[in-house]
Amino acid sequence: MPKPLHGIRVLDLTNVLAGPFCCHHLAHLGAEVIKVEAVGRGDLARQLGADPDLSERHMGVSFLAQNAGKKSVTLNLKHPKGKALFLRLVDTADVLVENFRPGVMARLGLDHESLRDAHPRLIYCAISGFGQDGPWVHRPAYDQIIQGASGAMSITGDKDTAPLRAGYPVADTVGGLTAAFAIAAALNANPRGTFIDISMLESTLATMGWVVSNYLVAGVEPSANGNENVTSAPSGTFDTADTPINIAANKNEQWVLLANHLNLGHLCDHPDYKTREDRKRNRLALKRDLEAVLKHRPARDWETELTAIGVPAGAVLSVPAILETPQVRDRGFLTTFADVPGVDRDVQLATTGIKLDAKAPGVDTPPPRLGEHNAEIWTSLGVSEADLKTLKQDGVI
């Protein structure tokens, strides 16, 4: 069976993470994604990541992470010939995704307004920090700026450590996922053709629904509660003999099962712990009572036993540890590309977390070298080999 987006051509004009992560999902779902990059330097992510040698080669780890399956062409959009060539490429496209600052594409004459009349079926998606209008429209934005502006940092950590940044670029990835979802929905419309305005700020706030609603509806200002789940108790992170463990006894019956398993059944009748609200009010004392038992054995033992009796529990793992588990390793989440050009060794990458008919969708090709598909794409539009040489000499491609 063809993938859901088979036959869809996407022009990816994006850089670093939010936009590339959006198009990463579209590529895995079957779209042909053509990455249009700046001549000579390409996506900034090509120069980012934990391996300086790969960054020097413009195949940085940050680029490899979300660009497998795409094709790369280079183009100077400021050059008249580059703009003309790009418009020919737009003629063949179903979707255009960009994450320039608002106004950049308009100055190039390539924004949605400029393209709409000639391409009424084009789905144009603009991803930015704060959206395409409003008083903050021209503010520069990176992930950490959005984490701070959204209030997410103010509720991350505890009273001693907040505000605290999340350990990965959550605002960028959430913005990219939101864009991919909106594009997939727009592709289902008949007739197609729309302008999608994705604000990383609003996308992040949307994922904070419970936190936002507690303030809007109940008037409770969100606070930083560390590893404690404020909606229930005992529910949070507990110390064991080795690594911490998360236990979420959110239902009363789970609390009873947990207490009995730890030989603490008498606590169920303790006046401080009798109801959910009692346990929430006295959560720190309850935590100490539970840890007095939990600290005698390793987290993995407790995880196995508590899960078996119906109490949600899981050891707190490192990234290497979870990637090595059969749960991740055997479900097709990771894929390996052999001897990747420009990297000159095998590269293992994450896919999307999606399963279609019990199979993880993948892509056939590794992340591309800068301009790797110039000849393929530009000659398909009728550009001759002689013209390609001239365009390259003129710095157009």
Residue 11 confidence (pLDDT) above 90: yes
pLDDT of residue 9: 98
Q: Over range 158-168, report the average pLDDT.
A: 95
Q: Over range 340-362, report the average pLDDT.
A: 95
Summary mean pLDDT of the chain: 96
Range in 71-80, 223-232, 251-260 with the lowest mean pLDDT: 223-232
Peptide bond between residue 361 and the one before it cis (omega within 30 degrees of 0): no
pLDDT of residue 29: 97
**For the segment 18-44, what is each residue's pLDDT rounded down to a tens digit?**
999 999 999 999 999 999 999 999 999
Nearest to 152 by CA among 212, 230, 197: 212
Q: Are 52 and 93 in contact (CB under 8 A)?
A: no
Domain covering 245-315 in this structure, CATH number? 3.30.1540.10
Q: CA angle, corner 11, sides to 5 and 16, nearest 5?
A: 105
Q: How confident is the model at residue 234 (pLDDT cuts 50, 70, 90)?
A: very high
Residue 292 confidence (pLDDT) above 80: yes
On the question of a common fold for 9-207+330-393 and 245-315, the answer reads no
Q: How confident is the model at residue 237 (pLDDT cuts 50, 70, 90)?
A: very high
Peptide bond between residue 163 and the one before it cis (omega within 30 degrees of 0): yes
Q: How confident is the model at residue 190 (pLDDT cuts 50, 70, 90)?
A: confident
Q: Are 16 and 100 in contact (CB under 8 A)?
A: no
Q: Over range 207-226, report the average pLDDT.
A: 94
| Every domain of the chain and the residues it spans | 9-207+330-393, 245-315
Q: Are 169 and 203 in contact (CB under 8 A)?
A: no
**For the segment 305-343, what is each residue's pLDDT rounded down to a tens digit?**
999 999 999 999 999 999 999 999 999 999 999 999 999
Residue 308: count other Cβ atoms within 10 Å of its Cβ.
10
Q: Are 128 and 199 in contact (CB under 8 A)?
A: yes
Residue 84 confidence (pLDDT) above 80: yes
**For the segment 104-159, what is each residue's pLDDT rounded down to a tens digit?**
999 999 999 999 999 999 999 999 999 999 999 999 899 999 999 999 999 999 99
The rounded distance, in Å, linking the Cα atoms of 10 and 109 is 19
> Would you tell me the crossing angle of helices 18-28 and 170-187 to the nearest 10 degrees?
50
Write b or e for each residue in 140-167: b if 16 or more Cβ atoms lie within 10 A of its Cβ, otherwise e: ebebebbbebbbbbbbbbeeeeeebbee
Q: How confident is the model at residue 67 (pLDDT cuts 50, 70, 90)?
A: very high
* 339 catalytically annotated: no
Q: How confident is the model at residue 215 (pLDDT cuts 50, 70, 90)?
A: very high
pLDDT of residue 1: 77
Which is the catalytic residue, given 172, 242, 278, 346? Answer: 172
pTM of the model: 0.93
pLDDT of residue 2: 87
pLDDT of residue 115: 97
Q: Which residues pair with 73 in a beta bridge?
A: 36
- Looking at domain 9-207+330-393, does it have CATH number 3.40.50.300? no
Structure tokens given for 292: 């007095």
